[in-house]
Chains A and B, each alone.
Chain A
Amino acid sequence: MRDDTTRSSATPATSDLPTPLLELRDLAITFSTSNGEVEAVRNAHLTVMPGETVAIVGESGSGKSTTALAAIGLLPANGRVSNGSIIFDGEDITSASEKRIVELRGSSIGMVPQDPMSNLNPVWKIGFQVKETLKANGLPSGTQDVAKVLSEAGLPDAESRANQYPHEFSGGMRQRALIAIGLSCRPRLLIADEPTSALDVTVQRQILDHLDTMTEELGTAVLLITHDLGLAAERAHKVIVMYKGQVVEAGPALELLTNPRHPYTQKLVASAPSIASRRIESAKRAGIETRDLLAPAVVKAASLDTVIEVEDLTKVFKIRGSWGRSTDFTAVDKVSFSIARGTTTAVVGESGSGKSTVAKLVLGLDGATSGSIRFDGVDITTLGRKEMFDFRRRVQPIFQDPYGSLDPMYNIYRTIEEPLRVHGIGNARSREKKVRELLDQVALPSATMQRFPNELSGGQRQRVAIARALALDPEVVICDEAVSALDVLVQAQILNLLADLQSDLGLSYLFITHDLAVVRQIADHVAVMEKGKLVEQGTTDEVFDNPGTAYTQALLAAIPGAGLVLPPEVA
């Protein structure tokens, strides 16, 4: 009875269309927290047609994951659907019984979680975990079936792989196993929550390509959650943009990119690095002057003065084996590059390429095994204690994680003042003046001085970290994935800030990153690293236009949205 009534109400008024597979209507989700009720999502509308890929794009805290979790009935214990309805295949499951939801999960709605590292149970073999899913949904679960499921997800040699434990798998392989589990019961809808954000770009591309083919073959609809507009536009039929818990715009991918109508979408299209880097490429191809598309500081007179020259830099780590024997692991292998004063050099590579070790060595935080790092002609690897202390003033780092790089016990004034105090510069009054100047430079109000890091947003913390790095008037700033953890709009702001500071202060940047889209926007020179070796370097234009190695080509092709060819006048 009840089923019938909901079914009829679920049929859309314009009923020449088939029933949507998933429909969210006026959905509101409320969390009860220690600060009272918080509405995380409101008025969310969403339809997924059978076989369609729909992407939800939004910054952190926009409610995109919460919305998707609600659809599969997996809200955290303190969250509830406070309004609206969730209709799956004509059936209202908003307040369906736990039993019904469990029936739907796996068999009708599959899920690929975000972090492949923590979503496989480390004490069970991969095969067992696939088997568990098959069994739970009443499907044949013999060794052959398990192997078949795994090989479909693109795991080579599936039968023996099934006998391995998660720690024996790489990140990409784990995500494949999770996709295998998610699709093993042939669900009609697959919810993929940032399925590749923890993976390297080349692996990300492979996984998404494979997901595309598999879901296409099986006719599975996909609800893809991502923070990357470029990725969403490339992979989805329909893109939904969420902001502050609301759907602000939804439509076909192309329409949204070329004709964004909501101010937030317009901002997003204008600043998403993957889209922006495509725009630069398209503009170049169309013969349009790209200057105004690039960050301002990239436009500058080429300087011949070399500030840092790295030559044959090698770092060997000893990996402790059993019984005191150790094996050598070469993290950085004969790397040479140089940074011209006032320019930005990007070192690009995937995880394990040794790029962060290079940053540590150049900062003088770790000793090189061999090779030299010359700063203004002086080799820093041979510096004594005193000279090293002076050298520290000239090179400063900015780190990736804005939540880890500021001491939570220090207020902002003490944080920025610390470098001045350590180096005994000025007295209390002049230091305070300097801190005010620095805050002004990074566009933070001087009232921020009294605040503590826990009161600031990620982007503001990163500004504080930049102010601290600039306190000693360094010549070189080493940005170790400095914008990778930020939301795109904030990322664009910080990149602009860095570029402005470069042109104002003549800074040189060593930009360590995995994100080629960002490199395109900010760097003058690019050095590509693979497994400790520097495989290619040149000006950004050279590397992007004529990548010399297959590895660089693969990296470039893997930038989300690489297939998009955007008219340069977009946005």
Chain B
Amino acid sequence: MPEPTSLPAPTEAPTPMARTKTSAYPIEHFVADPDETPVRATDSTVSDAAPRSLWSEAWRSLRRQPLFIISAVLILAVIFVALFPGLFTNEPPNENCLLANSDGGPAPGHPLGFTVQGCDILSRVVHGTQSSLTVGLFATIGVVLIGGLIGALAGFFGGWVDAILARVGDIFFALPLILGAIVVVQLPVFQQNRNVWTLVVILVTFGWPQIARITRAAVMEVRNADFVTAARSLGVSPLGALVKHVIPNALAPVIVIATISLGTFIVAESTLSFLGIGLPPDVMSWGNDIFSAKPSLRSNPMAIFWPGLALSITVLSFIMLGDALRDALDPKARKR
């Protein structure tokens, strides 16, 4: 290794700046006007503005996103419809079905026309909101609880805990939802009690590994942060550190994925109902309506169009909300 510069001997006389370079060109000593760039006190950034946590920062940026406002308004509307279907239609969805009205077009009091059974489409779509939303919501809560717990444990403890939990997750991940659901539905327990809750159980069974993976990755990232080490050296137990510090900081990506998967669970409910293995026919849901409107697709396309539209708008708003949340919670991924 070339060592062109020699070290100054310790005994060297203290001539100032023994080793600065001197230029061949004259160099002017320029000083800016100190008044123009006043030197501020080192480290003065505390402002008078109100304190803002990460969540309130996220909320501030969310409020300004049109994507968020649109999707939030739509979702609130859908939830409102699900809670108070009576406000939107006076027609009972099942009782007042007259075969005389079968596949009928819009009529006074029935703005969207009739299904093949002669039931009011508007009423069925409005009343179907509840079951679709319930399945989506509870399936999401289920996967977040189960998947989140398993993912957090696997990510935080690592080692053999991780090896086992991650492998179990992979096994479930490898099973296709539809195929798995068709098989599970054949079990006597599920055959006898087909309702919203059995469907939720099926969706959670096949849906948790995705959330588990996301949580595991997020937890692993936070686990090594200095603030976790600092908490550990205060005497906080491993589990305490996981609950108090790691999970709250790993939550953001989980919330985003959970919101998006709420939409996909609603789709999955419809898909399974359409295939005849989801909700029983007597429960009103968009999937069931799409299924029963299928035979008359040519003669009365509107009977399939309206529940389909309701389904698409709901799912789209959840996916849009997820995107908006991603932008707000992860500033790094934010587009310029």
Q: Residues of A with Cβ closer than 8 Å to B?
A: 17-18, 34, 43, 45, 49, 51-53, 77-78, 154, 206, 209-210, 212-213, 233-238, 243-244, 246-259, 261-264, 267, 282, 285-286, 363-365, 388-389, 392-393, 395-397, 399-401, 404-409, 411, 418-419, 422-423, 445, 447-448, 450-452, 454-457, 459-460, 465, 468, 472, 489-490, 493, 545, 557, 562-567
A557 to B19, CA, bound (A): 13
Question: Complex Cα distance A213/B25, Å?
Answer: 19
Tell me whether A258 and B16 are in contact (CB under 8 A): yes
Given contacts A456-B45, A562-B8, 18 further A-B contacts (CB under 8 A): A52-B25, A206-B1, A248-B37, A253-B21, A259-B29, A364-B233, A365-B233, A392-B234, A395-B233, A405-B230, A406-B227, A407-B248, A422-B234, A452-B51, A455-B51, A457-B43, A460-B45, A563-B5
Across-interface contacts of A418 in B (CB, < 8 A): 231, 234, 236
Counting CB contacts under 8 A, is B2 at the interface? yes
Minimum CB–CB distance for B153 against chain A, Å = 20
B95 located at the interface, meaning its Cβ lies under 8 Å from any Cβ of chain A in the complex: no
The distance in angstroms between the C-alpha atoms of A422 and B7, with both chains bound, is 53
Which residues from B are CB-within-8-Å of A365?
Answer: 229, 232-233
B31's partner among A248, A408, A447 (CB-CB below 8 A) is A248
* A–B complex contacts, Cβ < 8 Å, 10 sampled: A18-B25, A234-B19, A251-B28, A253-B17, A263-B39, A282-B14, A285-B14, A404-B227, A447-B46, A451-B46
A445 to B232, CA, bound (A): 27
Q: Which residues of B contact A563 (CB under 8 A)?
A: 5, 7-8, 18-19
A-contact bits for B222-254, CB 8 A (1 contact / 0 none): 000111011111111000100001001100000
Known: A254-B17, A489-B42. A238 touches B27 (CB 8 A): yes
B53 CB–A CB distance under 8 Å: yes
> How far apart sit A267 and B2, CA to CA, in the bound complex (Å)?
36
Interface readout for B26-43 with A: 1 if CB under 8 Å, 0 if not?
A: 111111101011011011
Q: Does B192 contact A (CB under 8 A)?
A: no
User: Does B15 sit within 8 A of A, measured CB to CB?
Assistant: yes
Q: Is the CB of A397 within 8 A of B230?
A: yes
B51 touches A451 (CB 8 A): yes
Contacts of A286 in B (CB 8 A): 14
Q: Is A399 a contact partner of B8 (Cβ separation < 8 A)?
A: no
**Contact among A52, A209, A406, A408 for B4, CB-based, below 8 A:** A209
The bracket for how many chain B residues form the interface is 35 or more
Provided the pairs A52-B25, A254-B16, A566-B17 are in contact, do residues A408 and B249 lie with their beta carbons within 8 angstroms? yes
In the complex, residue of chain A having the shortest beta-carbon distance to the beta carbon of B57? A454
Q: How far is the CB of A165 from chain B (nearest CB, A)?
A: 23
CB-CB nearest 6 A-B residue pairs: A563-B19, A251-B29, A237-B23, A405-B226, A392-B235, A459-B43
Per the bound structure, the CA–CA distance linking A419 and B230 in Å amounts to: 10
Confirm or deny: B12 has a beta carbon within 8 angstroms of a beta carbon on chain A. Answer: yes
Residue B96 at the chain A interface, CB threshold 8 Å: no
Closest-CB distance, A360 to chain B (whole angstroms): 8
A264/B36 in contact, CB under 8 A:
no
A251: B residues at CB distance < 8 A: 27-30
**Pairwise interchain contact B230-A465, C-beta atoms closer than 8 A:** yes
Do A363 and B51 touch (CB < 8 A)?
A: no
Could you tell me if B235 and A389 are in contact, using CB atoms closer than 8 angstroms? yes
Decide yes or no whether B333 CB sits under 8 A from chain A: no
Q: Does B3 contact A (CB under 8 A)?
A: yes
With contact pairs A249-B31, A392-B235, A422-B236 given, residues A490 and B249 touching in the complex (Cβ less than 8 Å): no
B24 is an interface residue with CB less than 8 A from chain A: yes
Task: Please tell me if the beta carbons of B18 and A564 are within 8 angstroms of each other in the complex.
Answer: yes
Contact, CB under 8 Å: B227 / A407 = yes
| Complexed CA–CA distance, A210 and B3 (Å) | 8
| Also in contact, A246 and B37, with CB within 8 A (given A206-B1, A455-B51) | yes
Cβ-closest chain A residue relative to B336: A78
Other-chain residue from B20, B29, B231, B233 in contact with A564 (beta carbon distance below 8 A): B20
In the complex the two chains form, what is the Cα distance from A254 to B17 in whole Å?
7
| Least CB separation from B228: chain A residue | A407
B332 at the interface (CB under 8 A from A): no
B290 to chain A, nearest CB (A): 42
**A263-B39, A264-B39, A365-B229 known; A250 vs B29 contact (CB < 8 Å):** yes
